[in-house]
């Protein structure tokens, strides 16, 4: 039986008194794969910050299950150019996902190191472990960041545009890897994307943010909805 992990109840967000998201309600349960899509400026990144607890709603509330602790949530943010040039080894980047769980301990524990090694193997990047992160390709860097996110959280992954800038083949590999984590390992996924076609191909729920009216529901219902039909016809 699935557990409701996150519930947004009539949530609104504003910047400088300008409303970005109004009266939005949706939920994410264990095992869900939710894709958040929408035009630029529709509030995708703002909502992500709200879910992560980095921004408070101006109205409504975001309720998290008591079963969802802070160290159950992993986050893969969009990278800045400076971050792509970060001079650290792959292992150092991956194990840094354990920082929040380390508490006041000055060093990583044996458990932290084992988890880093496990997630490096999990994503098939053992051969990169001692390479410099800055020397990797875009696809390799994203795998490293996904391994880092898995070190940070084992129940829910929040991925912000994880395939931006990747070539089509690597993009497909990344999507399939995320799907495998969801279907085979039961990790809940919230992915922000501008790619509605791929969202409908992989996710089982869609949240389409729109300036006037938003949609939340199953992918099947989204495809049949007026909003879904309109945006799919626009992409053809």
For the chain, what is the domain count?
A: 2
| pLDDT at position 81 over 60 | yes
Asked if residue 113 and residue 188 are part of one domain, the reply reads no
Q: Report the distance separating Cα 193 and Cα 39, nearest Å.
A: 10
Asked if residue 163 and residue 58 are part of one domain, the reply reads yes
pLDDT tens digits, 141-167: 999 999 999 999 989 999 999 998 889
pLDDT tens digits, 46-64: 999 999 999 999 999 999 9
Asked if residue 169 and residue 235 are part of one domain, the reply reads yes
Q: CB–CB of 192/44 below 8 Å?
A: yes
| pLDDT at position 7 over 60 | yes
Domain residues for 16? Answer: 1-68+157-236
Asked if residue 149 and residue 90 are part of one domain, the reply reads yes
Q: For 81-92, what is the mean pLDDT?
A: 86
Note the pLDDT of residue 10: 94
Number of H helices, E strands in the chain: 10, 9
Smallest CA-to-CA distance from 134 within 206, 79, 62 is with: 79
pTM for the predicted model, two decimal places: 0.91
Confidence of residue 203 (pLDDT cuts 50, 70, 90): very high
Q: CB–CB of 140/94 below 8 Å?
A: no
pLDDT tens digits, 9-18: 999 998 877 8
Average pLDDT, the chain: 90
pLDDT tens digits, 23-49: 999 999 999 999 999 888 888 989 999
| pLDDT at position 230 over 90 | no
Pairing relation of β-strands 215-218 and 205-209? antiparallel
Q: Report the distance separating Cα 202 and Cα 130, nearest Å.
A: 32
| pLDDT at position 235 over 60 | no
CA distances, 73 to each of 68, 77, 90, 110, 211 (Å): 8, 13, 21, 21, 28
CATH of the domain at 161: 3.40.50.300
Asked if residue 178 and residue 135 are part of one domain, the reply reads no
Asked if residue 234 and residue 166 are part of one domain, the reply reads yes
Question: CB-based contacts of 199: which residues, under 8 Å, 6+ apart?
Answer: 35, 37, 191, 193, 206, 219
Note the pLDDT of residue 103: 63
Q: Which residues make beta-bridge pairs with 21? A: 13
Q: Nearest 5 degrees, angle CA 225-CA 230-CA 235?
A: 130
Q: CB–CB of 189/201 below 8 Å?
A: no
């Amino acid at each position: 039986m699935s557990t409701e992990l996150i519930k947004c109840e009539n949530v609104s967000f504003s910047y400088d008194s300008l409303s970005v998201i109004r009266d939005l309600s949706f939920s994410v349960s264990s095992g869900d794969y939710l894709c958040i899509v929408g035009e630029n400026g529709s509030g995708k990144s703002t909502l992500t910050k709200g879910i992560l607890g980095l921004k408070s709603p101006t109205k409504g509330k975001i309720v998290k299950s008591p079963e969802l602790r802070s160290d159950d949530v992993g986050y893969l943010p969009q990278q800045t150019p400076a971050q792509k040039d970060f001079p650290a080894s792959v292992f150092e980047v991956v194990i840094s996902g354990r920082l929040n769980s380390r508490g006041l301990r000055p060093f990583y524990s044996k458990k932290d190191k084992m988890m880093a090694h496990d997630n490096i193997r999990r994503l098939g990047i053992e051969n990169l472990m001692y390479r410099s992160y800055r020397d990797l390709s875009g696809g390799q860097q994203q795998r490293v960041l996904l391994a880092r996110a898995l070190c940070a959280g084992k129940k829910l992954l929040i991925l912000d545009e994880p395939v931006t800038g990747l070539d089509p083949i690597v993009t497909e590999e990344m999507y399939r890897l995320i799907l495998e984590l969801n279907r085979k390992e039961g990790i809940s996924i919230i992915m922000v994307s501008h790619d509605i076609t791929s969202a409908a191909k992989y996710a089982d729920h869609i949240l389409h943010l729109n300036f006037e009216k938003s949609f939340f529901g199953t992918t099947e219902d989204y495809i049949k909805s007026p909003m879904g039909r309109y945006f799919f016809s626009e992409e053809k």
